[in-house]
Structure 1
Amino acid sequence: MTALSGIRVIEIGTLIAAPFAARLMAEFGAEVIKIESLGQGDPLRKWRKLHEGTSLWWYLQSRNKKSLALNLKSAEGIAIVKQLAESADVLIENLRPGALEKLGLGWDVLHALNPKLTLVRISGYGQTGPYRDRPGFGAIGEAMGGVRYTTGDPQSPPARMGVSLGDSLASMHAVMGALMSLLRVKTGQGDGQVVDVSLVESVFNVMESLVPEYAMLGHVRERSGGALPGIAPSNTYPTADGGYVVIAGNSDPIFKRLMIAIGRPDLGENPAFAHNDGRVAECEQLDRAISEWSIRLPIDAVLDTLEKAEVPAGRIYSVEDIVSDPHYQARDMILDAQLPGGAAVKMPGIVPKLSATPGTVNWQGPSLGQHTQAVLGELGLDESAIQRLKNEGVVQ
């Protein structure tokens, strides 16, 4: 038994935000039926690095999902979606606002078909407001949500992270909203509802005290490189062998232990540095003292010293470091998988870890339309009816 066993999810989405949200639910036992367009299916099938013509990201992003290749421009295709919605718990989509309505699948239609259905809608700016009709990708969410402005070196243009952070944050908010709505339905407190998730707002929601600092103090948080602004000491420091280590000595007792470890107990006992506000005022002095210590030692010696002093610290991992790390392996965060044709591959494990109902990986991302016949069969269509739909270009 997994946490979401018995929950049926319909996914009408492409690329990242809606598919990642559906993947998270699929990993914990939800039956996810992914509706893909005929021909090429989800464009993610061709994104990033490919293996024998299919994206490795696809195999991860769509694991545990069923692929139903369906022509949503046909009346019969829409009728199939409606029939699926009647027995579904959640429908997740990331079309442009209004697109679902143009298909004849707006909230009024879906709610009438199944009052218990939760509709999760992910878009660039949300379903309302003056920007609702603008196209929006995760990168735009990061830009307008505030994180891009605060990321990078102070002397350089704003930087982006090497992953689609905006999309992933929206996905997690979408799952959170879906589960809240499901809890309401399953406990008999009410019907399903619309979960309206904006890429911009999902990024904005993790921006900590950005707004009150500006509204009350006129403070605009700027780019700070490897440092954590307003909290000290917390930065990236060089080591003798050309490496870098992240050190977070930013609570009062940890700071004192850190100063003893680097041979500067005088700083640790200085009353001016007893609390964070005093340390922030002199963060450059503290960073300089830590760097002068760390640059004299290889990274392993730095980390060993700080571990013994119970100071949070870590090297900056590449993917090579991650895959070979014994802690990742002990936590089942690097899984051995097999692709169609038998090729062996490693995949990320499942987060979070649940003690009683853990998530599982049952299969990697399916081929286009792999489950079309099975899904339609469950709807009561016999082989001749399915063949007719294939011949008419409704399904693949």
Structure 2
Amino acid sequence: MTATNNAGPLAGIKVLELGTLIAGPFCARMLAEFGAEVIKIESPDGGDPIRKWRVLKDGTSLWWSVQSRNKKSLTLNMKHAQGREIARKLALEADIIIENYRPGVLEKWELGYEQLKALDPSTIMVRLSGFGQTGPMKDLPGFGAIGESMGGLRYVSGHADRPPVRVGVSIGDSVAALHGVIGAMMALRHRDATGGKHQGAGQMVDVALYESVFNLMESLVPEFDHAGVVRERTGGALPGIVPSNTYTTKEGENIVIAGNGDAIFKRLMLAMGRIDLAGNPELEHNDGRVRHTRQIDDAIQAWCDTQTIDGALAVLQAADVPAGKIYSVRDMMTDPQFLAREMFEQHQFADGSPVKLPAISPKLSATPGHTKWLGPTLGQHNDEVLQSLGYSADAIAAMKRDGVL
């Protein structure tokens, strides 16, 4: 892969991040990874709480090094009038504003979308919240776990005879962040097509966590509305699409086999030596296989009982049947596919100790993303950002004394 533009496709785009934890910062992180200048406003009193989440190094989260890479940290006391004034100046300079406070917080600071739009009609603001900017629940707190529950994901996750389970990462927040990135790019395209910064038409991108999750729920709505079907928890299986399930090898390892295409199913059965099932006309198409789900799953599990996981994968790959192990991070770090795709980046902390980060996705052939620096220290870019706004060294020193920074 040959890069022709190391600055990134979003070079020249300025982003103001007003948010904490996951959804808003992840949205801004992706823009920063592809060249946007992202200025993250943090409270002088400890900054973003994610700095202290999960595994720490020297008092700072390892997660922080990824979530805030390429961002500039500016501390502002938003309870102070001068802090709000600086934030407003940055907002009016920015191409995109990203925020994930509860609805109404920015309006109290006179930084709401309508307030900024009155000063600059080209304002683009991405607003991520639990339930959106309207509706009877808009003022309620809503973390990703609540979005996953209300959006339908938790209800279908897990086994039928047990309570719903969560995905092992903050998927609701991350999915909302991706919706925010998509919305920001579409709004930016529209603004530029209608005159550009200060002249073009801006807009608000209203992202609700529960709606972002709901957007992933496939055929849930028409199946219920038209056929009265409520999708339920089914463990490792994919209901109505057969076979697609998790099976266990003779060593007790799990293997996912997705033989649900008509031709793939036939190849799978032949690879297993089940000529009877491969040639059964009732199983030729998915609707017929659904009626015989138990028989097919039992046959695949019986075959897996005789196989090691590596042996099973070799047979299935030779037969061109989609199958795979369930990876832990330990598996990923040594996997030939991950390594060939350069999915890890080697970096150093300030003390010289090494650390690997996940590489940037998606991979663009001409303007790929790039890690310029790891998550910044709190207020690391105060002087740089404030000087760019025209503040003198004496004025910055005074703001530090007055508790603005």
Sequence identity percentage: 58
Find the aligned partners of 2:138 and 2:162 in 1 and give their Cα distance: 31
- Once the two structures are superposed, the pairs formed by residues 26-175 of structure 1 within 5 Å of their partners are 26-175=32-181
Is 1:312 aligned to 2:322, yes or no? yes
2:242 maps to what in 1? 232
Tell whether 2:28 aligns with 1:25: no
Match of 1:2 among 4, 8, 28: 8
- Secondary structure of 1:149 counterpart: helix
- Give the one of 322, 326, 332 matched to 2:336: 326
Residue 292 of structure 1 corresponds to 302
Distance 2:266 2:347 in 1: 46
* Cα distance in structure 2, aligned partners of 1:229 and 1:31: 45
Offset, 1:160:
0.5
1: CA distance between counterparts of 2:27 and 2:340? 26
**CA positional deviation for 1:227:** 0.4
* Matching of residue 273 in structure 1 with residue 279 in structure 2: no
Q: Does 1:348 align with 2:358?
A: yes
The alpha-carbon deviation at position 242 of structure 1 amounts to: 1.4
Structure 2, unpaired ranges of 5+: 1-6
Shift of the alpha carbon at 1:117? Answer: 2.0
Name which of 385, 390, 393 aligns with 2:400. 390
1:169 counterpart letter in structure 2: V
1:361-387 deviation digits (Å, cap 9, x = unpaired): 000000000001100000011100100
What amino acid is aligned across from residue 279 of structure 2 in structure 1? Answer: E
Equivalent residues of 1:35, 1:67 under 8 A apart: yes
Cα distance in 2 between the residues matched to 1:371 and 1:268: 64
Deviation (angstroms), 1:341? 1.2
Instruction: Give the Cα separation in 2 of the matches to 1:175 and 1:271.
Output: 47
Instruction: Say which SS state the counterpart of residue 25 (structure 1) adopts.
Output: helix
Structure 1 residue 108 displacement after superposition: 2.0
- Which residue pairs with 2:203 in the alignment? 193
2:221 to 211, 218, 226: 211
C-alpha distance in 2 between matches for 1:54 and 1:302: 43
- Gaps in structure 1 of 5+ consecutive residues: none
1:357 is paired with a residue of what secondary structure?
coil
Distance 2:289 2:9 in 1: 45
Mapped contact 1:87–1:114 kept (Cα < 8 A): no
Aligned twin of 1:362:
372
Is contact 1:64–1:365 with CA below 8 Å preserved after alignment?
A: yes
Number of residue pairs aligned between Structure 1 and Structure 2: 395
In the superposition, the TM-score normalised over structure 2's length comes to 0.96
Structure 2: which amino acid aligns with 1:49?
V
Conservation of the 8 A alpha-carbon contact between 1:85 and 1:114 = no
Q: In 2, Cα distance between the equivalents of 1:112 and 1:81?
A: 16
Cα deviation for residue 268 of structure 1 reads 1.4
* Structure 2 CA distance for aligned equivalents of residues 34 and 229 of structure 1: 43
**Alpha-carbon separation, structure 1, partners of 2:119 and 2:43:** 23
